[in-house]
Structure 1
């Protein structure tokens, strides 16, 4: 089976194909991922042999990968962080894939600060998907409008100041 076939199967919501694609990128960080789908929820089990998987970085990575993939029939993702040999997850978090879906912290325990997952440079430089770009446009418009208002205010105050100064100058000349 080739990687394009894995991607195609992952798009269909195949948990094994999603696991393989995730493991391809996670293995260099010493993590393994297993996945299964139940009732429209993709359960991803991340395991690290020595340190607790870093929740924030792992979730950011998984959320980016799964939302970019947009697998069919999957509405939610639940990610579990395991330390190898432990039966209970150290942390667990669930998030929705659809716009406006909820994100809920399920369980959390202290993490080892030495367990950091650094994302590949290619992931950090990618252009965000259009749905994320459209979510930002209200902030961009608001920033532009605020900038225009600030500049207009400064021009108005500067004009009043210059008028006042020119009035004072005329009084001095008389």
Structure 2
């Protein structure tokens, strides 16, 4: 089960959701929804030690080949959409190995975010979480999109969230 194979990220078990597919990565776990073409949630465990190891940011966004073709978001879905590919498990937190950094750029870890939110508000929150990891030595984080209204879609049906949550 995912809880067994990916328990290092799921201290409280698998979040309740309508996820169609569960994936375990080096740095995080994902519950992915085929209908929204977004993760329902991403969970990760970080420590003061891991957040203080840095590898060069790759910026190598790529489709997730473990997702069925019809359910995956693609690079072209975001092109010209006005939305950023917003990390759910942040690359700056996943940079403790080259492989975990690479996995953080999989499209299954992205969700449409307005540029101002992604590059300012969300980035500042991600930095604060890393500061908390340094202060408390370790944290478990679950984050994902919220769909309150009909924000529409981009590309080939990637649903735009109305908000995001982060539970620490």
Band of TM-score, shorter chain: under 0.3
The alignment's TM-score, normalised by the length of structure 2, stands at 0.28
Decide which structure has greater strand share: 2
- RCO higher in 1 or 2 (8 Å CA, sep ≥ 6)? 2
Answer with 1 or 2: which has the greater Rg: 1
